[in-house]
Amino acid sequence: MAQASGVHVSTVSRTFSAPHLVNPETRTRVLAAAEDLGYRPNRAARALTTGRTHNLGLIVADIANPFFSHLIKGAQAHARTRDYHVFVADTDEDPSVEEELIQTLAKQVDGVLLCSPRLSNRVIEKLHEDVPFVVVNRRMKGMSNVLMDVGSGAREAIAHLVSLGHRRIALLAGPAGSWTSKEITEAARSVPGIDLTVLGPNSPTEHGGLALARPVASSGVTGVLAYNDLMAIGLVEGLTSLGVDVPGHVSVVGIDDIVAGRVSRPKLTTVAMPAEAAGRTAVDLLLQLVGAPVTPALATLATNLIIRDSTGPVRDALRGDP
Amino acid sequence: MAQASGVHVSTVSRTFSAPHLVNPETRTRVLAAAEDLGYRPNRAARALTTGRTHNLGLIVADIANPFFSHLIKGAQAHARTRDYHVFVADTDEDPSVEEELIQTLAKQVDGVLLCSPRLSNRVIEKLHEDVPFVVVNRRMKGMSNVLMDVGSGAREAIAHLVSLGHRRIALLAGPAGSWTSKEITEAARSVPGIDLTVLGPNSPTEHGGLALARPVASSGVTGVLAYNDLMAIGLVEGLTSLGVDVPGHVSVVGIDDIVAGRVSRPKLTTVAMPAEAAGRTAVDLLLQLVGAPVTPALATLATNLIIRDSTGPVRDALRGDP
DNA sequence: GGTGTCACTGCAACCGGTTGCACGAAACAT
DNA sequence: ATGTTTCGTGCAACCGGTTGCAGTGACACC
């Protein structure tokens, strides 16, 4: 490449990384040769001296969860506009895989987006020494966070159930180690005047929800708030097949607002989470951390309740039923 | 690191990349020091000399499409067992973004999994000179391919419609440039004795399907095969809101078997595609290509029809309706 | 004409490993 | 005792860029 354009390698290097330092004529010549040979600076080699790989790591519990795929999409699209690539990795909800992945990624990326981690705070803090982090969906002191205001969302959802006359309410918790799950639980507990049953922890999948149909049906609750839409959908499926009508006998609210919730019947009432925006915001915070270690920032994104058909007024026959 | 264990860097290097060449005692000492310092060989630096980055690129049109997210999950999990990482990139259905991404990835990865490309064969062939490929969902001579037997799937789906009495059938094509879409179209055209209307190309999303509700309703067809489940679901939504009953007036079949199809009402009849298996197979073929340029392989995965509630017998009143 | 400035480019060290080669010591053969 | 392997390790070049420093030539100014 250098010889193809008749200049020293360092001039080629500068043509790409500091164009203003090279004579316009030379630059044109180098660029022409590059175009000709299909040459592109090798990012890995560049990373060796600059210490910047121009790659970001993104770790999620489950790529197939639509919430995460939208987050990824947002992060990826945004990163691309900043000339960054995103390494996506899926932990399969396994904390030890999560730890392993962070360690492996640490040296290959400039920063990591850790989404809905299942690891303990202690481990995350230790790993944080190796690489800049932005943690999504978990409050961590001393690091940049992107949070959804899921507490308000949960309270809003429960207020909605209460306004429909529901008093006996079940909360379907998410996986152990999930900050969001804890947050939702606390929010639900803080609502006065209801009789709350917390079920879980559970696998945050359709299957996890399905498995809860029987316990929910036999618990006598009339309203349910699920950790996420996938679980809510599974629960509705299970309840229906048990002959329990939704929302006739039981009202169900999910969280996330995934497509499946809009097309399932009854259409799912849910707390919408701004997944794409979260992805974009997280990339912003991370890049600003990568540039120069500034004070960690905290971004909180609003959620909002979308009322559809899976919630309805409590039936008189059931009101006060033990 | 080298001085921490009192040996030369080359010995450290060999401890990790060719352990049998170093004295067991020395090895133990080096490993202990590594453990102590949290040292891990830098993959980027290693890639510089070995030419192996131990990274794979994976390019899809839309991460948020559940079909792709399962494929990614399969690929990723499988790659990890081979000590490979996967770089996932989303083209947003844009061919020029796709080309750009392949070029950028080319030097950073050992091979690329190109899924459901929208680029022309010619461009793909050109890009193939730069980096090993496995193309998923497109037959490309001279490269390794992973295909789904979507032609059989489409024929099976149409046979199912025919067996229910449908003769006037619409095919909702996918995006321009999609091999799968072309394959389905050809398969449908090859079925004798039906009156086929092909609509498209269309955006392969829920929205794309929704937009086709009116044309479908006014076309007088009684059976529909959609390019994918997302479109089928959108179509059902649109038809329902137009007062057209599914499967009463129109039967609808999707392709992919995504979760949303199982929970939407009516439950979607669909051609299941083995997405995770495709991801795993593609990684296998790619790694075998990376090792030594062998003859390209072709893997064809079976599809199968899953009959649910969105298809039913043609109604007498409509039979032969113009 | 001498000298200082400036823009541009080459030189060479370096990033963190890998690897062919050489060398010394121990083990083995004669 | 001497010659030959074998084993383990160090040396140094190299991968493909980046970057501080120095050198060159053109030009302006005195």
Give dist(CA A51, CA B185) in Å, integer: 51
* Residue count of chain B: 322
- Chain A neighbors of B66, CB-CB under 8 A: 64, 66, 69
Give dist(CA B183, CA B164) in Å, integer: 24
Do B43 and A107 count as a contact with CB atoms less than 8 A apart?
yes
Give the best residue of A1, A71, A90 to mutate against chain B (max B CB count within 10 A): A90
pLDDT of residue B176: 93
Domain A51-148+274-303 falls in which CATH fold? Rossmann fold (3.40.50)
Structure tokens at B25: 């005692």
CA angle, residues A85, A82, B43, in degrees to nearest 5 = 30
Q: How many CB pairs (< 8 A) connect A and B?
A: 120
Task: Give per-residue pLDDT as tens, A228-258.
Answer: 999 999 999 999 999 999 999 999 999 999 9
* Burial classification of residue B38, based on how many CB atoms lie within 10 Å of its CB (0-12 exposed, 13-18 middle, 19 or more buried): exposed
Tell which phi-psi region holds residue B6, choosing left (phi > 0), alpha (psi between -120 and 50) or beta. left
In Å, what is the CA distance from A239 to each residue of A157, A222, A275, B277?
A: 20, 12, 28, 32
Which of A75-89, A203-217, A239-253, B227-241 is least confident?
A: A75-89
Helices B179-189, B150-163: axis angle to 10 degrees equals 40
pLDDT of residue B321: 42
pLDDT of residue B275: 97
Q: Dihedral sign, CA of A90, A96, A98, A99?
A: negative
Output the furthest CA–CA distance in chain B (Å, rounded): 89
Average pLDDT of chain A to the nearest whole number: 93
Question: Nearest residue to nucleotide C14 when comparing alpha carbons to its C1'?
Answer: A49
The beta-carbon neighbor of B64 closest among A69, A86, A89 is A69
Residues of chain A with CATH 3.40.50.2300: 51-148+274-303, 150-273
Tell which phi-psi region holds residue B183, choosing left (phi > 0), alpha (psi between -120 and 50) or beta. alpha
Q: Assess if CATH 3.40.50.2300 describes domain B150-273+306-318.
A: yes
Is pLDDT of A320 > 80? no
pLDDT of residue B57: 93
Question: Nearest residue to nucleotide D14 when comparing alpha carbons to its C1'?
Answer: B49
Listed as ranges, the nucleotides of chain D within 7 A of a protein C-beta are 7-12, 14-20
Give dist(CA B149, CA B143) in Å, integer: 18
pLDDT of residue A81: 92
Structure tokens at A138: 């978990």
**Interval A268-294 mean pLDDT:** 93
Contact B158, B194 (CB under 8 A): yes
Q: Is the peptide bond before A201 cis (omega within 30 degrees of 0)?
A: yes
Q: Architecture of A3-41 per CATH?
A: Orthogonal Bundle (1.10)
Is pLDDT of A223 > 70? yes
Give dist(CA B244, CA A18) in Å, integer: 62
Q: Does B77 touch chain A (CB under 8 A)?
A: yes
pLDDT of residue B315: 81
- Nearest nucleotide (CA of B21 to C1'): D8
Q: Architecture of A150-273 per CATH?
A: 3-Layer(aba) Sandwich (3.40)
Task: Give per-residue pLDDT as tens, A166-190.
Answer: 999 999 999 999 999 999 999 999 9
- pLDDT per residue of chain B (322 residues) written in tens, 0 to 9: 777 888 999 999 999 999 999 999 999 999 999 999 989 999 889 999 999 999 999 999 999 999 999 999 999 999 999 999 888 889 988 999 899 889 888 888 999 999 999 999 999 999 998 899 999 999 999 999 999 999 999 999 999 999 999 999 999 999 999 999 999 999 999 999 999 999 989 999 999 999 999 999 999 999 999 999 999 999 999 999 999 999 999 999 999 999 899 988 899 999 999 999 999 999 999 999 987 777 899 999 999 999 999 999 998 544 444 4
Count the Cβ atoms, other than its own, within 10 Å of residue B107: 17
Q: What letter represents residue B189's amino acid?
A: R
Order across the sheet with B269-272: list the strands: B195-199, B168-172, B223-226, B251-256, B269-272, B304-306
pLDDT of residue B316: 57
The full 3-state SS of chain B, as one line of letters, equals CCHHHCCCHHHHHHHHHCHHHCCHHHHHHHHHHHHHHCCCCCHHHHHHHHCCCCEEEEEECCCCCHHHHHHHHHHHHHHHHCCCEEEEEECCCCHHHHHHHHHHHHCCCCEEEEECCCCCHHHHHHHCCCCCEEEECCCCCCCEEEEECHHHHHHHHHHHHHHCCCCEEEEECCCCCCHHHHHHHHHHHCCCCCEEEEECCCCCCHHHHHCCHHHHHHHCCCEEEECCHHHHHHHHHHHHHCCCCCCCCCEEEEEECCHHHHHECCCCEEEECCHHHHHHHHHHHHHHHHHCCCCCCEEEECCEEECCCCCCCCCHHHCCCC
pLDDT of residue A317: 47
Domain B51-148+274-302: CATH superfamily is Response regulator (3.40.50.2300)
Q: Does B37 touch chain A (CB under 8 A)?
A: no
Do A89 and B85 count as a contact with CB atoms less than 8 A apart?
yes
**Interval A140-152 mean pLDDT:** 95
Is pLDDT of A264 > 50? yes
Count the Cβ atoms, other than its own, within 10 Å of residue B313: 14
Residues of chain B with CATH 3.40.50.2300: 51-148+274-302, 150-273+306-318
Over pLDDT 90: what percentage of chain A?
82
- B/e letters for B254-269, b = 16+ CB within 10 Å, e = fewer, are bbbbbbbbbbbbbbbb
pLDDT of residue A321: 43
Residues of chain B with CATH 1.10.260: 3-41
